[in-house]
Amino acid sequence: MNKLSYVPKPGIEGFPYDNTKARIIHKGAVPSVVERVGNSAKVIGKIVDNKFYSVEEYKQSFKLGGAARKSSDYIKPEQRHTRVYVKKKSPDECKLGGRKRIHPVPAMEDVKGIPEEYLNQKGIIIKNMKGIIYLVRSDSYRNDGKQYNKTTILGRIHDLHFYTTAKYKELFAPKHAGGRPKKTATTQE
């Protein structure tokens, strides 16, 4: 208990004199009325201009620090902790900030040229890796209790058509432009 706590003299309007455990403590800008409970104290009110206010009355009448409150400033207890639930937007309505971009992945049935053997295998998926769409085999396995994923690229998808990696490089990779030319076999005559 604080050394500055004391039992008030009569004259404070509304003070609970019948409560023998009630004491005044000068802590902060406004004197508080506390009720002793063992070695601790529970605040039961405040005193402003020789008038006792319960904690709830004080919150209604005064701001923090003792300044008078307008009636419109007070928020009732039943309205204090109510939460306003906002309807969440669907992912289509959300705007992406920064550098994030969504790269849609086509469905397997929309892509032409995928071999039948790939369509029937388990773990064959279309995956977008940094904006490039691949057909991959995704295998997962455990080693020493840890799970690992192994991704094997089977080919690329370009304009909804499947190409093996070699075929894609042949058709779409830029031809050697500038720099050192590719080595070719030379014949001597």
Instruction: Name residue 28's beta-bridge partners.
Output: none
* pLDDT for res 168: 86
Residue with the larger pLDDT of the pair 174 and 43: 43
Residue with the larger pLDDT of the pair 22 and 90: 22
* pLDDT for res 35: 86
Least confident of 4-18, 43-57, 93-107, 140-154: 93-107
Instruction: Name residue 52's beta-bridge partners.
Output: 47
156, containing H or E segment: strand 146-158
Choose from 22-36, 91-105, 151-165 the range with maximum mean pLDDT. 151-165
The model's pTM:
0.39
Give the separation between CA 57 and CA 62, rounded to whole angstroms: 8
Percent of the chain with pLDDT over 70: 68
Instruction: Name residue 143's beta-bridge partners.
Output: 146
Sign of torsion over alpha carbons 126, 129, 134, 138: negative
Least confident of 21-30, 121-130, 180-189: 180-189
Pairing mode of beta strands 40-48, 32-37 = antiparallel
Spacing of C-alpha 53 from chain mean position? 41
